[in-house]
Chains A and B, each alone.
Chain A
Amino acid sequence: MEFLTDMITFLLARKKWWLAPVMIILLLVGALIVFGGSSAAAPFIYSIF
């Protein structure tokens, strides 16, 4: 719940509405990945992260 509040506050502050559907879809897909137990190899350059 806190995460959703933070996300909405962020979107309100940045006014980048187009990010909202992208983030929601990613989170849904992410939930599948996480619960699917896929491993995440981190790229080695920190600019990506």
Chain B
Amino acid sequence: MTILGISAFYHDSAAAIIQDGKIMAAAQEERFSRKKNDASFPTQACIFCLKKAAINIDELEAVIFYDKPFLKFERLLETYYQFAPKGVRSFLKAMPIWLREKLFLKRLIRRALQDVQAYDKKKLTLLFSEHHLAHAASAFFASPFQEAAILTIDGVGEWATASIGIGKGNRIKVLKELYFPHSVGLLYSAFTYFLGFKVNEGEYKLMGLAPYGNPASRALQQYKKTILDKLIDLKEDGSLWLNQKYFNYAKGLTMVKDQQWEKLFGFPKRKKDDPIQQYHCDLALAIQQVMEMVVLKLAKEAKKCTGARYLCMAGGVALNCVANGKLWQANYFEDIFIQPAAGDAGGALGAALAAHFIHFDNHRKITIENHPTQYLGPYFEKEYLRSFLKKLNTPFEKFKNFEQLCKKVSQQIASGKVVGWFQGRMEFGPRALGNRSILGDPRSETMQKTLNLKIKNRENFRPFAPTVLEEDAGFYFNLKKPSPYMLFVATVKKEHRKELTESDDSTSLLKKLAIPHSSIPAVTHVDFSARIQTVTEKDNPRFWQLLCAFKQETGCGVLINTSFNVKDEPIVCTPEDAYRCFIKTEMDVLVIGDFMFLK
């Protein structure tokens, strides 16, 4: 039984394919189309998935979409009705596209599938899953647990913005839901907007900015009080009520009422290119801390409702690894599984899993083979690479022995070089986990600045994440569990930290960044935190081997691991993409499979 899952038309479209319960392939359309967060129908991702499963559309048991359009339309109409006559501009802008396309999604999908491959429309079974059920299924059915509590939190699906459920075998039961317009994700996005970042993309930046806030400042306490007293009413069970007097997303074309927020927080909305001030950082920290409170309360409620030993999480908010780290420290659950593509792209995977287990009532057998790995994207065979190299006509070095390649790359990294590392199957989800990565030396005091400004061309306040050999994680970090998907933040151990003077602590944001905070400064954020990926030989043998070689070379089993892309571009997919990125940045070395290019 083969099922194709699709997420599309909102942001970050993707396709995933399940064969007899086993996840065969999944990929985001942006990686093929090269348009960041591409929302169009995932034609190329579907072609890839079908090819990987060696199947035609006619042979599929079903195609399933991750969202119910009628239910979403109902929410839109009710919301506009509730706020009328306000919101008329937004209504007039939204309706044409709904009446032309989104309400007729069945027809749209059937037509779009014709571009993927010719097929018999009469044979096609087209299903629709609820948005949060797709998230829940992506987390639970991909997890190694037979029974677990499920927590999904995002901006909004149809009506639900968060849900608590329980998964048992091949069943998911939703126990509680929080409905639009009250949403943890939209609250965080509102602050993303107010602090001058792009909604749906800039949430990571807000999370990266928060550690620059001063935890001891009066401003922080005041901001938190304002959020909790004026903007939201947070209940003990984690549900919250957003005071619509201050928000505009339900009826307007902006997230918040700018002037009201200016009065609340004492400064105007930051424009995209405005310099970041300390009060921006303090507000970022305030909302981050409030969000952590909400996530912890929701998880506590999930524990109370289900009594489960384990927790599975998905939805965009589950990508907030700082909150995840706090949740892990809270010890409510024996283990937590967060699906690596927790955002809407993962909805394609979840919808397909939901169809297989819930709709078709298939038995769920948990085996290592059925578990998803993070590497579900395209792979390029040696033949392809040979023909690519021939066309390229550029000098390169071929290594017959992978050990030697790792040794050479380690030496390059240790000498301060930046390496593009392209191996095996592409990752599914927003994180590069060692197959489409840019690597550097974490011990270097200048590497963070070099990578941000010369390679990635992105905001210089943004931190980099470490990849560490799993056996060494406890040596460097206060991390109690493996973090193979880079979804948990933990602090650097005290013995590796550097003493900071009082003047260091009170210095400006950019100066703070330049002060080394630990023996691995390039991956230590200003609050001594790090977003960690742990690697074992089983997870990724090639990447593990490189880490071992670097450890042998330097004594340090840690590398900087950042996604192989530049600002505003998706992560590279093909060797051609990787080479283009290598040429147009100041990257020093590129490794594709067993081949090495030097500049």
Contact-size category for A: 20 to 34
Residue of B nearest to A38 (CB): B96
Please, how many angstroms separate the alpha-carbon atoms of A29 and B95 in the complex?
A: 10
Interface 1/0s, chain A 18-37, versus B by CB < 8 A? 01001100110111011000
From B72, B100, B102, B253, contact of A45 by CB (8 A): B253
In the bound complex, do residue A7 and residue B93 qualify as a contact, i.e. CB atoms below 8 Å apart? no
In the bound complex, do residue A45 and residue B255 qualify as a contact, i.e. CB atoms below 8 Å apart? yes
In the bound complex, do residue A47 and residue B99 qualify as a contact, i.e. CB atoms below 8 Å apart? no
In the bound complex, do residue B102 and residue A34 qualify as a contact, i.e. CB atoms below 8 Å apart? no
Q: Is B180 an interface residue (CB 8 A)?
A: yes
In the bound complex, do residue B97 and residue A40 qualify as a contact, i.e. CB atoms below 8 Å apart? yes
Q: Is B249 an interface residue (CB 8 A)?
A: yes
How far in angstroms is the closest Cβ of chain A from B447?
A: 35
In the bound complex, do residue B99 and residue A33 qualify as a contact, i.e. CB atoms below 8 Å apart? yes
Q: Is B74 an interface residue (CB 8 A)?
A: yes
Q: Is B240 an interface residue (CB 8 A)?
A: no
Q: A14-B74, A16-B74, A47-B155 are in contact. Are A42 and B106 (CB under 8 A)?
A: no
Please, how many angstroms separate the alpha-carbon atoms of A16 and B77 in the complex?
A: 12
Please, how many angstroms separate the alpha-carbon atoms of A29 and B103 in the complex?
A: 14
A contact patch SS: helix
Q: A33-B99, A38-B96 are in contact. Are A48 and B106 (CB under 8 A)?
A: no
Q: Is B156 an interface residue (CB 8 A)?
A: yes
Task: State which residues 58-74 of B face A: CB under 8 Å.
Answer: 70-74
**A46 surroundings in chain B (CB, below 8 A):** 10-11, 155-156, 199-200
Please, how many angstroms separate the alpha-carbon atoms of A27 and B98 in the complex?
A: 10
In the bound complex, do residue B97 and residue A42 qualify as a contact, i.e. CB atoms below 8 Å apart? yes
**B189 surroundings in chain A (CB, below 8 A):** 45
How far in angstroms is the closest Cβ of chain B from A16?
A: 7
In the bound complex, do residue A3 and residue B93 qualify as a contact, i.e. CB atoms below 8 Å apart? no
In the bound complex, do residue A48 and residue B76 qualify as a contact, i.e. CB atoms below 8 Å apart? yes
Q: Is A17 an interface residue (CB 8 A)?
A: no
Q: Is B88 an interface residue (CB 8 A)?
A: no
How far in angstroms is the closest Cβ of chain B from A17?
A: 12
**B253 surroundings in chain A (CB, below 8 A):** 43-45, 48
How far in angstroms is the closest Cβ of chain A from B108?
A: 11
Task: State which residues 32-84 of B face A: CB under 8 Å.
Answer: 70-74, 76-77, 81
From A3, A30, A47, A48, contact of B96 by CB (8 A): A30
**A45 surroundings in chain B (CB, below 8 A):** 189, 199, 249, 253-255
How far in angstroms is the closest Cβ of chain B from A46?
A: 5
Please, how many angstroms separate the alpha-carbon atoms of A38 and B100 in the complex?
A: 11
Q: Is B94 an interface residue (CB 8 A)?
A: yes
In the bound complex, do residue B156 and residue A47 qualify as a contact, i.e. CB atoms below 8 Å apart? yes
Please, how many angstroms separate the alpha-carbon atoms of A23 and B144 in the complex?
A: 44
In the bound complex, do residue B76 and residue A3 qualify as a contact, i.e. CB atoms below 8 Å apart? no
Residue of A nearest to B104 (CB): A3
In the bound complex, do residue B249 and residue A49 qualify as a contact, i.e. CB atoms below 8 Å apart? no
From A19, A22, A34, A40, contact of B93 by CB (8 A): A40
**A26 surroundings in chain B (CB, below 8 A):** 95, 99
In the bound complex, do residue A6 and residue B77 qualify as a contact, i.e. CB atoms below 8 Å apart? no
Residue of B nearest to A28 (CB): B99
Residue of A nearest to B106 (CB): A2
Q: A3-B106, A7-B70, A49-B10 are in contact. Are A43 and B99 (CB under 8 A)?
A: no
Q: Is B90 an interface residue (CB 8 A)?
A: yes
Please, how many angstroms separate the alpha-carbon atoms of A28 and B71 in the complex?
A: 20
Please, how many angstroms separate the alpha-carbon atoms of A45 and B363 in the complex?
A: 39
How far in angstroms is the closest Cβ of chain B from A7?
A: 7
In the bound complex, do residue B70 and residue A6 qualify as a contact, i.e. CB atoms below 8 Å apart? yes
In the bound complex, do residue A43 and residue B250 qualify as a contact, i.e. CB atoms below 8 Å apart? no
From A2, A14, A23, A43, contact of B94 by CB (8 A): A43
Q: A22-B77, A43-B93 are in contact. Are A34 and B100 (CB under 8 A)?
A: yes
Q: A6-B106, A7-B70, A30-B100 are in contact. Are A47 and B90 (CB under 8 A)?
A: no
**B250 surroundings in chain A (CB, below 8 A):** 47
Please, how many angstroms separate the alpha-carbon atoms of A23 and B93 in the complex?
A: 16
**B95 surroundings in chain A (CB, below 8 A):** 26, 29-30, 33
Q: Interface residues, chain B, CB within 8 Å of chain A?
A: 9-11, 70-74, 76-77, 81, 90, 93-100, 102-104, 106-107, 155-156, 180-181, 183, 186, 189, 199-200, 249-250, 253-255
A-B contact pairs, 22 of them (CB 8 A): A6-B70, A22-B81, A23-B77, A27-B99, A27-B103, A30-B98, A30-B100, A33-B100, A34-B96, A40-B93, A42-B94, A42-B97, A43-B253, A45-B253, A45-B255, A46-B200, A47-B180, A47-B186, A47-B249, A47-B250, A48-B249, A49-B72
20 further A-B pairs in the complex, CB-CB below 8 A; given A47-B249, A49-B97: A2-B106, A2-B107, A3-B104, A16-B74, A22-B77, A27-B99, A33-B100, A38-B96, A40-B93, A42-B94, A44-B199, A45-B189, A45-B255, A46-B11, A47-B183, A47-B186, A48-B249, A49-B10, A49-B94, A49-B102
Q: Interface residues, chain A, CB within 8 Å of chain B?
A: 2-3, 6-7, 10, 14, 16, 19, 22-23, 26-27, 29-31, 33-34, 38-49
Closest A-B pairs by Cβ, 9 of them = A30-B99, A40-B96, A40-B97, A10-B70, A47-B249, A43-B253, A34-B100, A33-B96, A46-B10
